[in-house]
Structure 1
Amino acid sequence: MPGSLKRNLTVGGLLALIVVLADQVTKEWALATLFRDGAVVEVTPFFNLVAVWNRGVSFGLLASDDPMTPFYLSGFAVAVVIGLLVWLARAPSQLLRISLGLIIGGAIGNVIDRLRYNAVVDFIDWHAFGYHWPAFNLADSAISVGVVFLLFDSFLGDSHRSDPQMTGKDGE
């Protein structure tokens, strides 16, 4: 395995693994505490911990009672993860490797939930001035941060690429 390919998959893969583990640990905690009795824990005037089963994707979109929906959504997510892994293998910058690792880890974390529970465990609830952001979890946060980093990386362009072999430059 060439050095840059190994480095890309190691950085992105390790970050994805950390995200999956942290996501699953926090969801297990939420299941053991919040979901046990449907508790709402008011942490601050604008932040709660709640018990929400998300049977769809972001913001509950595509939610359905069809028993095959979790498998359709999981299959789509796995296909996306495969595409992102190919991209990760070729990623020319550290920021891109981090971005893809976060997105891959978050996607896998939510796929695990869909396959285990037929829904995603959401429990983080931000609200202010009478408005609530839809409940989410650590995997969703990792995906969102990964997308922001991905956009930032795209705006930087080739000016921050660290690997001359990956960019085709001779390093001089």
Structure 2
Amino acid sequence: MVANPKVRLLALIALLVLAVDIVTKVLAVAELEDRAPVQLLGGLVYLQLVRNPGAAFSLATGYTWVLTIVAIAVVVVILRVARRLRSTGWAVALGLVLGGALGNLTDRIFRSPGPLQGHVVDIVSLFTPDGRAWPVFNTADSSIVSGGVLLVLLALLGRELDGRRTSGESKDRAEDGSVGE
């Protein structure tokens, strides 16, 4: 069992995101296949089944296997970094990114057309039913973006992975080689 409570938090968040992502994708395939988009909230949100062979915004559609390798690398890096984790904020952010990466990686490995080439199931479209206003996305995508934004905020606020806080002054001293008082 993992002793570090921050690593346990990261794992819990990642597993929760993965579970919600898998369940929503299974439901979407079962309920939205060969069906017109479902309008919600007066047209602010549409539920629509899209099988995406590419990355966000349907970029790199011919490189599904590369995206799979990148997702595997992200998972490995997060698992390696987790050993030094002492920050709740970093645990939450990395848990969101890890869960999202695992969710989309699961599609790439297990969905058609085949292993390492599977298309990711996207479900939610904002403002228009066809992704014209904003690309169609899923729970995993939302988690990756939310985790990424949180990581940037933590970095800007000087929060370190190990729980320490850095300030601009201490960073400047470290960069120019001067010793603190």
TM-score range (shorter-chain normalised) is 0.7 to 0.9
1:24 maps to: 22
Judging changes above 3 Å, is the alpha-carbon distance between structure 1 residues 38 and 153 closer, same or farther for their aligned structure 2 residues? same
- Residues of 1 paired with 2:101 and 2:52: CA distance? 14
2:8 maps to: 10
How far did residue 153 of structure 1 move? 1.1
Correspondence for 1:92 among 77, 86, 89: 86
Q: SS at 1:157's partner residue?
A: coil
- Cα deviation per residue 1:80-137 (whole Å; 9 max; x = unaligned)? 1111222222123100110000000000000101112210000100027x95100000
- Residues of 2 paired with 1:141 and 1:2: CA distance? 27
- Residues of 1 paired with 2:137 and 2:149: CA distance? 17
> Aligned-pair RMSD on alpha carbons?
2.5
State the TM-score, normalizing by the size of structure 2. 0.77
- Residues of 2 paired with 1:25 and 1:2: CA distance? 26
Q: SS at 1:62's partner residue?
A: coil
- Residues of 2 paired with 1:2 and 1:111: CA distance? 24
- Residues of 2 paired with 1:150 and 1:14: CA distance? 18
> Which residue identity does 1:126 align to in structure 2?
L
Are the aligned partners of 2:49 and 2:123 in contact in 1 as well (CA < 8 Å)?
A: yes
Percentage of identical aligned residues = 36
Q: SS at 1:132's partner residue?
A: coil
Are the aligned partners of 1:92 and 1:162 in contact in 2 as well (CA < 8 Å)?
A: yes
Are the aligned partners of 2:7 and 2:85 in contact in 1 as well (CA < 8 Å)?
A: no
How far did residue 2 of structure 1 move? 8.6
Instruction: Name stretches of at least 5 consecutive residues in structure 1 with no aligned partner.
Output: 165-172
Instruction: Name stretches of at least 5 consecutive residues in structure 2 with no aligned partner.
Output: 112-117, 166-181
- Residues of 1 paired with 2:159 and 2:65: CA distance? 39
- Residues of 1 paired with 2:30 and 2:2: CA distance? 44
Judging changes above 3 Å, is the alpha-carbon distance between structure 1 residues 158 and 110 closer, same or farther for their aligned structure 2 residues? closer
State the TM-score, normalizing by the size of structure 1. 0.81
Choose between structure 1 and 2: higher helix proportion.
1
Of 72-81 and 137-146, more deviation after overlay is shown by 72-81
- Cα deviation per residue 1:59-82 (whole Å; 9 max; x = unaligned)? 111002xxxx43332122111111
Q: SS at 2:46's partner residue?
A: strand
Map 1:92-111 → 2, pairs under 5 A = 92-111=86-105
- Residues of 2 paired with 1:50 and 1:86: CA distance? 36
Map 1:15-164 → 2, pairs under 5 A = 15-35=13-33, 37-43=34-40, 44-64=42-62, 69-117=63-111, 118-127=118-127, 132-158=133-159, 162=163
- Residues of 2 paired with 1:94 and 1:55: CA distance? 34
- Residues of 2 paired with 1:72 and 1:131: CA distance? 26
Equivalent residue pairs, number: 156
Bigger radius of gyration: 2
